[in-house]
Amino acid sequence: MKRYYLLLTLLLLSIFTITTQAAEKSIHKDYQHAQWDPIHFQPAIATASNEQCLGCHQEILDRQVLIKSPAGITAESTKAWYQTLTTYEGAQQTFHQRHLSSDFSNQVMNMQCITCHEGNNPREEAIIPPDQNQTQFTLRKSVNPETCLMCHGNFPDYVRMGLPSHWNESRDIFQNNCLLCHAGIRNNRHQVNFLKAEAIEKAGKENADVCFGCHGGRQWYRISYPYPRHAWEGMAKEIPDWAKERPTESHPRFQIPANKISKK
Ligand code: HEC
Ligand code: HEC
Ligand code: HEC
Ligand code: HEC
Ligand code: HEC
């Protein structure tokens, strides 16, 4: 009798370990394997979908801001200067939510994890001690700040635009409307995989803060992004000196296949 019990226990034990091992393999990778998953590196990351990343990083969208800071200041009562644009809505959200799931971001953008995250190797992170000549190394978790500059740079050179001063001072002269000029100038724009070009034009017609927001209104840098200069209908043949170095197409990483471009 005893022997049967022993055999039965052994049998049950082995079934249990086999099934749990299989479950672990199919659902969860261990921490090391997950951290070193090829999806974090080129070339796999270049084509990864949000769903794939969120499969392990759902917290990126679910995590909420603190209702109250440890010092007792409520998130509700706190507004930063970049949260005073007329496009800003709703309660405080996290950085990732503001780029991926806020109503406004979904209206005008089609951001992917890989728009910002291009992969970084934890073994190739910042040199210690810091060395300014070793710029090929990125800081841990770091994203190339040029990506941010596209939408968080300074308002472009106002003299070049033919404005008497920065938009903050001159907007009233131009009826607070970028399209007064930009209906006809540099109007071949925003055909990139992280923006919703048509929706931007529609929203920009109603409210110039939509345009200004990404071109000076949420400025994190002193400089302005050197935007590619796409040819537009009626453009002068002569290229001005300042534009001679400019690319005439968006960065290859962001281009949309020609057959999918929407012409307005
Ligand atoms: C198989 C699960 C898994 C997948 C899929 C995955 N990650 Fe990760 N990721 C991890 C783990 C585990 C870490 C290490 C976390 C840590 O060290 O705190 C990590 C680390 C990171 C980090 C650095 C975080 C830090 O605190 O250092 C970033 C950024 C990141 N992942 C982004 C992404 C992006 C973008 C994708 C999609 C292209 C992705 N991950 C897909 C599991 C995954
Ligand atoms: C607007 C650009 C942008 C987008 C889009 C973006 N991230 Fe990030 N992410 C960042 C930046 C910047 C950091 C902080 C980097 C640092 O600390 O060096 C970060 C940090 C992280 C971290 C580590 C820190 C943390 O908060 O846990 C993870 C994991 C991560 N991102 C995953 C994702 C995933 C998954 C997606 C897509 C669902 C995504 N990110 C989309 C810019 C972005
Ligand atoms: C494609 C344009 C775009 C890019 C690229 C972009 N942002 Fe933003 N960012 C936005 C928009 C639009 C908002 C406002 C979203 C809203 O009001 O809901 C915003 C909001 C923010 C905010 C304010 C969030 C808040 O709590 O109000 C910060 C901080 C920020 N971005 C930093 C960054 C950084 C850092 C990067 C680069 C890693 C980056 N952004 C890349 C468009 C962009
Ligand atoms: C008085 C007319 C006028 C108004 C109003 C105007 N712009 Fe411009 N803008 C121009 C001209 C002219 C250029 C340069 C065209 C060229 O490439 O030759 C320009 C260029 C730009 C560029 C590209 C800059 C670069 O370095 O490549 C951006 C971005 C831009 N404008 C955004 C805006 C936004 C956003 C507004 C409203 C907040 C606005 N503009 C209002 C005339 C105007
Ligand atoms: C969500 C952020 C965002 C909004 C909103 C936005 N832009 Fe842009 N804009 C960009 C980015 C990013 C680029 C560069 C895209 C690329 O690489 O081709 C750009 C490029 C431009 C250019 C250069 C065009 C070229 O390629 O020659 C002009 C001009 C411009 N925007 C004007 C506007 C105007 C006018 C509006 C409102 C109708 C507006 N933008 C709204 C992010 C934005």
In whole angstroms, give the CA distance from residue 34 to residue 152: 32
Structural domain for 256, as ranges: 74-118+143-264
Q: How confident is the model at residue 260, as a pLDDT?
A: 73
Nearest-CA residue for ligand 2 atom 5 is 113
Please report which ligand is nearest the Cα atom of 37.
1
Q: Are 92 and 78 in contact (CB under 8 A)?
A: yes
DSSP 41-97: STTGGGG--HHHHHHHHTHHHH----SB-TTS-BGGG---GGG-STT--SS---HHH
76-85, 133-142, 241-250: least confidently modelled range = 133-142
* Domain assignment present for 244: yes
> Tokens 């052994």 appear where?
10
- For 109, list phi and psi in degrees, rounded to 5: -125, 165
Q: Are 181 and 162 in contact (CB under 8 A)?
A: yes
* Domain assignment present for 22: no
Q: How confident is the model at residue 258, as a pLDDT?
A: 78
Average pLDDT over residues 164-181: 96
* Domain assignment present for 58: no
* Domain assignment present for 125: no
pTM above 0.85, yes or no: yes
Q: How confident is the model at residue 25, as a pLDDT?
A: 46
Q: Which residues line ligand 4 (CB under 6 A)?
A: 156, 160-163, 167, 174, 178, 180-182, 185-186, 208, 211-212, 215, 224, 227, 229, 240, 243
Q: Is the CB of 125 under 6 A from ligand 1?
A: no
Q: Are 161 and 154 in contact (CB under 8 A)?
A: no
Please report which ligand is nearest the Cα atom of 164.
4
The pLDDT confidence band at residue 57, using thresholds 50, 70 and 90, is very high
Indicate the number of domains in the chain.
1
